[in-house]
Amino acid sequence: MESLSQLITTHHWGTHFVNSTPPMYGLAQCFQDLSHHDCLLCYAACRTKIPRCLPSLSATIFLDGCYLRYDNYSFYQQPTDPSRDAVICSSSSKHELENEDRMEFVKNVGFAIRNVTKAAVDNGGFGVAQVKGSVYALAQCWKTVGRDGCRACLEKGGEAVRGCAPKKEGRALNAGCYLRYSTEKFYMADHGHGLSVSRGIIIAVVLAAAAFILLSLFAAYAGYAKLVQIKQERSGVGLASISINKYSSLKFKYETLEKATDYFNSSRKLGKEEHKHLVKFLGCSIEGPESLLVYEYVPNRSLDHFLFDKNKVQILTWNERLNIIVGTAEGLAYLHEDFGLARCFAADKSHLSTGIAGTLGYMAPEYLVQGQLTEKADVYSFGVLVLEIVSGKRNSTFRQDWDDSDSLLHKVWKLYISNDLARAVDPCLRDDFPVEEASRVLQIGLLCTQASVALRPSMAEVVAMLTNKERAAIPNPNQPPFLNATGGSTINRSYSANSSVSNALTKVVASCTSTESSSMPSSYGDFKNCTSLAQ
C-alpha cells in the first residue's frame, strides 16, 4: 500500500505487484475531477476500509471519487467481471419522480449516458455530461483498460444503469470503470471533450512565462541561500537547522552534538519532562525487529478497560470522564508547548515526514495519506478519544440504538447537525449528566476531528474551551469529520459543500457485500467486495 500511496500522491493513480505466495496485484485511482488534496483524502478513506476485508484474498472498494482494488491475479486489463460488476440505484421511496415527468427524464438519462460514454472514450478515460440541466453524468475508466476496454466497460455499465431511471441517481460499478448519473451536479468542475486550440495556446504562453519567472526566482534564491549558508557557517549557528532525512547520516561529531544541545543542557532533553497528567518516560529500544518505548507501570490499567467493559462493572461518572478529558488535553498541551514534536522541526518546516505507524481510526488524514506528522495529528487523535469517552463506545463499534452503521465520528456529526448531541452520550449514565456541558465537549471533539489541519484547534485552545467557566461560545465545525476504518455513510451536501477539503468526503457513502454478510442496504454507497481465503 505504501507504493500505491506514493503513486497516488504523484500521479493520482498507480498499480503495484508483490511477488508473494499467492501473488498480489493492486490498483488505485482517483477520479479526474478531484483536486490533489481531495484525491489524497479519498484514497485515505479507501485505505481505512481495507481492514474490514482482511484476511480476504481480494477486495474492491468504490468511493464516489476514487477506487481501490487488490487481488491475486492480474486484473488490470479486465473491463468487466460478471461476478463483481454491480449497479446501485437510489431509493424509490425518496427519489422517484412524478408520473408526468418520467418519460422525459428516462430519455434524458439515456442521452446523458450516451454523451458521457463518448466523452470518456475520446478524452482518455474521463468525461462529464449534462442534458438540459436536468441530468448530470460522470464516467471514469481505469487507466489500465485502454480505449477499447473503456468503451466496452461503459457500454455495459450504461446499459445497466439505464435501468435505474426514473430514479434520481444511478451508479454502475464495474471492474474497469465507474459510471454515475444524477439530477444534481455532483462532480467538482466542468470538463469538456477537450481544450480548444486557442485555449491551449493561452495555457502554453502562460506556462512558458511562469517557467521563466520561476527560473529567475530560483537563481536569485540559490544565490541568497549560499550567502546565508556562508554566514551561518562562520557564526556557528548553522547547526541549529540541520535537516535529517532518509538520505542523511545520523552520526554526528561530539562537537556538533555539544553545540546542538546547548552543551547538553537539561532543558533540551525530551525524556525527563514531568507533568501530573503524563506517565514518566523511562527509555526506549531501537534494536531488533521492533522499536519499543518504556513507560512507568500504571497499576490501575488502561482507560479502555473501564470505558468498554462489556460487563459494566465500574461505570465512570460524567465528572470522572470530564476530568480525564481535561487532564489528557492539559498533558498534550504541555507536550506541545515547549518541546516534543516542535524540537524536531527545522525552522522552515511545518511537519515531519515519517512512515505510517498507529491504529486505524485514530490517525489523522494527512498522516495516513502522506506520513506528515504535526501537532494537529495529536489533536485529531484526541478528538476521537473525546468522542469515545463521552459515548462509551469504541471508534470501531456502533450503537445498537442508532439506526444505521455509521462510524462513531460520523454519527456524532449527524447528531450535531440535528441539534441532538445529547443522544451521543453513554446511556449508562442514565441522563445523570449536564446536557449543555456534554454537548459542548462533544462539539469540541468534532472540532478536533475535522479533516483540514488548519481548521483544528491547538491543544492550548482546546484546554481553554474545556476549562472556560463562563461558557463562552465555541467555534462550530464546518465540515464533516474524516471517515475512518469503521465505515461511513452519505454526507449531506447541504452542510459539506462549503469546504473543498470535504468535497471528496461528500462522496463517501456506505454499503458492502462480502462472504461474511450478503445484506446490502438499498441506498447507494461505497461498494466493497471481498473474497474469503476459504473460497
The pLDDT tens digits of the residues spanning 325-371 come to: 999 998 888 887 754 444 444 444 444 444 445 566 777 777 776 66
Residue 535 has pLDDT above 80, yes or no: no
Contact 346, 243 (CB under 8 A): yes
Domain ranges in the chain?
A: 1-194+510-535, 197-263, 300-509
Residue 494 has pLDDT above 60, yes or no: no
pLDDT computed for residue 110 by the predictor = 93
Of 39, 206, 59, 203, nearest in space to 126 by CA: 39
Contact 352, 341 (CB under 8 A): yes
Return the CATH class of domain 300-509.
mainly alpha
pLDDT computed for residue 348 by the predictor = 45
Is 1-194+510-535 in CATH node 3.40.190.10? Answer: no
Contact 314, 306 (CB under 8 A): yes
Q: Does 1-194+510-535 match 300-509 in CATH topology?
A: no
The 10s digit of each residue's pLDDT in 236-245 is: 444 444 444 4
The 10s digit of each residue's pLDDT in 373-390 is: 778 888 999 999 999 999
237 CA to centre of own chain: 39
The H or E element spanning position 128 is: strand 126-131
CA distance 450 to 522: 29
Please report, to the nearest 10 degrees, the dihedral formed by the alpha carbons of residues 467, 395, 421, 404 taken in order. Answer: 180
The three cell numbers locating residue 207: 506556462
